[in-house]
């Protein structure tokens, strides 16, 4: 059948830029972002959804870019750590990570920032337990997590005081 | 990992033994078996397609019959390679005991799985063995006069 | 690793999906959220020739009241179940279980239809469907049929869903003022696959249970409804002796299969412990 091809035409809004490309159907969103576009802040770890290092934003929700085909992002909005950094949306959290030594090797950090931002933006009450639960899908092999939780908690408290 | 199970087969022990050693019979009843060739008296090569849920991979298996003790017991050594999917090694001992005109088959399997298959599937290896052995023995038993049942 | 090459097509209707499934048979796979399928593609544990993307089919979305049942479209994502007011009000069991389904980024894409089509034995939603008496709407080339959850789960990753069919919606009976429920699971890390879990749904009147569905998951090849154990507990005043007697039934009726992390004995131990806990909780 003519409609079935191994390549797909996509148009993806990536960090505010509209990107059109013809890509192999099997290309996942992580590889699209890293190799096609050259944004290396999205890291690839396990490629099976366990480690969380490839977490990005798709239509405003955190998702695993290794478990999302780029073809499935066609017509949708993708934000990566680069876009969120440039927009300044996560600067407070980035500073808190810096202050608390919450980044060591840095491999998990972009995904941690994206996941934690989703929690901070949710209108739920934030406790240390809640932070642990929310970040349970993001593995870190360096910090032992305490510093990361400290950093997120610090921003949550600052947000609360600001209200 | 160790798994064992038992099946009651409605046939005399020698008949069950003969069927268990008949390549044509095994080819028909091993789940997903695409080919099974006898290399010599005790060595076989099988191509088996494992279709378990989202997994659908082809394995080439080298099978060796060991410790043959006709018509009571033997051990099957299986080494399977699934290309990029990973590999598995299994040792299955099978024992046949007479029970009136029936035969009680007891099996115990020791399994090792490596590679990608182990990464994704290790938690479900036992479940898979139980499912596939039930499938095998249920259809294997059905060829005798009355359908066998799991005991 | 990267997946093998495949073709990709976006379905524009359920009929389109069925047509493609009939044409391509085993070589075609439906993809929705892809949270279970894509790992197996990445690891080359499966290599279909065609993926049929159903995520544009709006007819498969939505959560709505349908008489005395709540209908959930197959494409409804886990995160939508978490935040939906109708679920919170009418399906308290699902509302408490859904927080334990995987991690947030997975819940943001994974769908209830994908979950129930795959039917992982360690997954929470198949167990909830069984405990709640869900009905699954399935469409194939011969039209639509309804399958009760009790007839749907067959064996490890094997359901009543046939190769040329698609699950379109799931409906659940609504909770009443008499409904009691409970949820427990044992996991090594929050959001991972459980080693043993229990979901329970029932009705209580005048201090006695008039119906009870304790469903254990991650213990066998399918979720298991412990009906003999439940029968012991019906229409009687719950006390410790009665509960211990009912727990003995679990030794006989649960076909527990141990795994690499959790032995058969430990799974059975957890199963009993959780049932004791939940019964204590609803008996207060």
Taking contacts as CB-CB distances below 8 angstroms, the residues of chain A near C104 are 62, 115, 118, 134, 137
* Contact criterion met (CB below 8 Å) for B80 and B108: no
For chain B, the domains span: 2-150
Mean pLDDT of C42-65: 95
Taking contacts as CB-CB distances below 8 angstroms, the residues of chain B near C36 are 54
Regions of chain A short of the pLDDT cut 50: 1-2
Kindly report, residue by residue over B98-107, the tens digit of the pLDDT: 998 999 999 9
C36 vs B54, B124, B125: nearest CB: B54
Class of domain C179-282: alpha beta
C42 touches chain A (CB under 8 A): yes
Burial of residue A114 (CB within 10 Å: 0-12, 13-18, 19+) is buried
B116 vs C118: CB contact, 8 Å cut-off?
no
State the pLDDT at residue A113.
98
| Mutation site, C27, C31, C45, C222, interface B, largest B CB count within 10 A | C45
A129 touches chain C (CB under 8 A): no
C6 vs A25, A118, A137: nearest CB: A25
State the pLDDT at residue C260.
84
B54 vs C40, C158, C193: nearest CB: C40
Distance between CA atoms of residues C170 and C176, nearest Å = 19
Q: What average pLDDT is seen over chain C?
A: 96
Q: Which CATH number fits domain A7-84: 1.10.260.40, 3.10.20.30, 3.40.50.10490, 3.40.190.10?
A: 3.10.20.30
Check if CATH label 3.30.530.20 holds for domain B2-150.
yes
C102 touches chain B (CB under 8 A): no
Distance between CA atoms of residues C48 and C165, nearest Å = 17
Mean pLDDT of C242-261: 95
State the pLDDT at residue C284.
67
State the pLDDT at residue A107.
98
Q: Which CATH architecture has domain C7-53?
A: 2-Layer Sandwich (3.30)
Mean pLDDT of C246-275: 95
State the pLDDT at residue A47.
93
pLDDT of C112 > 60? The answer is yes
C83 touches chain A (CB under 8 A): no
Check if CATH label 1.10.150.120 holds for domain A90-162.
yes
**Which chains have at least 3 CB atom pairs separated by less than 8 Å from chain B?**
C
The label of the residue with tokens 């009571």 reads B72
State the pLDDT at residue B99.
92
Strand partners, B3: B109
Kindly report, residue by residue over C115-126, the tens digit of the pLDDT: 999 999 999 999
Regions of chain B short of the pLDDT cut 70: 1, 145-151
Which of B83-87, B109-113, C8-12, C187-191: highest mean pLDDT?
C8-12
Distance between CA atoms of residues C65 and C86, nearest Å = 8
What the block records as the tokens of C95 is 């509302």
Q: Just give the CATH number of C58-173.
A: 3.30.465.10
Neighbours of C239 (CB within 10 A): 10
Find, in chain C, the residue whose alpha carbon is nearest to that of B116. Answer: C43
């Amino acid at each position: 059948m003519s409609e079935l091809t191994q390549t797909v035409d996509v148009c993806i809004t990536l960090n505010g830029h509209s990107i059109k490309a013809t890509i192999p159907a099997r290309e996942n969103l992580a590889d699209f972002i890293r190799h096609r576009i050259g944004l290396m802040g999205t890291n690839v770890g396990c490629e099976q959804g366990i480690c969380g290092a490839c977490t990005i934003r798709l239509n405003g929700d955190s998702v695993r870019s290794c478990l999302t085909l780029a073809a499935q992002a066609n017509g949708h909005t993708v934000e990566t750590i680069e876009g969120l950094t440039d927009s300044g949306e996560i600067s407070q959290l980035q500073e808190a990570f810096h202050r608390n030594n919450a980044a060591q090797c840095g491999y998990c950090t972009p995904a941690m920032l994206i996941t934690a931002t989703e929690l901070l933006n949710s209108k739920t009450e934030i406790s240390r337990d809640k932070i642990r639960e929310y970040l349970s899908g993001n593995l870190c092999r360096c910090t032992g997590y305490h510093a990361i939780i400290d950093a997120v908690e610090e921003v949550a408290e600052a947000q609360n005081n600001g209200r | 990992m160790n798994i064992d199970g038992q099946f009651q087969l409605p046939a005399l022990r020698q008949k069950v033994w003969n069927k268990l050693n008949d390549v044509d019979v095994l080819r028909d009843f091993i789940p997903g078996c695409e080919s099974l060739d006898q290399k010599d008296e005790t060595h076989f090569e099988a191509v088996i397609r494992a279709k378990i849920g989202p997994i659908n991979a082809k394995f080439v298996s080298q099978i060796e019959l060991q410790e043959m003790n006709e018509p009571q017991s033997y051990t099957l050594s299986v080494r399977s390679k699934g290309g990029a999917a990973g590999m598995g090694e299994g040792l299955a001992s099978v024992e046949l005991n007479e029970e009136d005109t029936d035969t009680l088959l007891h099996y115990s399997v020791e399994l090792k799985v490596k590679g990608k298959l182990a990464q994704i599937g290790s938690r479900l290896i036992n479940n898979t063995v139980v499912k596939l052995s039930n499938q095998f023995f249920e259809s294997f038993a059905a060829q005798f006069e009355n359908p066998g049942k799991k005991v | 690793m990267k997946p093998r090459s495949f073709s990709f097509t976006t379905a524009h209707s359920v009929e389109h999906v069925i047509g493609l499934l009939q044409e391509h048979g085993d070589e075609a796979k439906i993809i929705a959220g892809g949270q279970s399928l894509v790992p197996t593609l990445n690891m080359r544990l499966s290599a279909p020739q065609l993926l049929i993307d159903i995520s544009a089919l709006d007819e498969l979305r939505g959560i709505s009241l349908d008489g005395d049942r709540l209908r959930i479209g197959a494409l409804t994502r886990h995160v939508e179940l978490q935040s939906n007011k109708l679920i919170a009000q009418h399906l308290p069991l699902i509302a408490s279980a859904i927080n334990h389904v995987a991690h947030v980024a997975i819940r943001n894409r994974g769908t209830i239809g994908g979950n129930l089509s795959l039917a992982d034995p360690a997954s929470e939603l198949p167990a909830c469907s069984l405990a709640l008496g869900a009905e699954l709407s399935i469409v194939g080339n011969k039209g639509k049929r309804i399958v009760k959850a009790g007839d749907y789960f067959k064996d490890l990753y094997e359901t009543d869903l046939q190769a040329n069919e698609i699950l379109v919606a799931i409906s659940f009976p609504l909770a009443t003022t008499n409904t009691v429920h409970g949820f427990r699971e044992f996991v090594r890390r929050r959001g991972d696959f459980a080693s043993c879990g229990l979901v329970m749904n029932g009705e209580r009147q005048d201090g006695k249970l008039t119906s009870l569905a304790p469903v254990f998951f991650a213990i066998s090849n399918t979720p298991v409804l412990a009906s003999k154990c439940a029968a012991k507990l019906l229409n009687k005043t719950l006390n410790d002796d009665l509960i211990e007697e009912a727990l003995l039934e679990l030794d006989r009726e649960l076909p527990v299969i141990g795994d690499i992390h959790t032995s058969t004995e430990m799974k059975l131990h957890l199963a009993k412990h959780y049932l004791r806990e939940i019964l204590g909780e609803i008996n207060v």
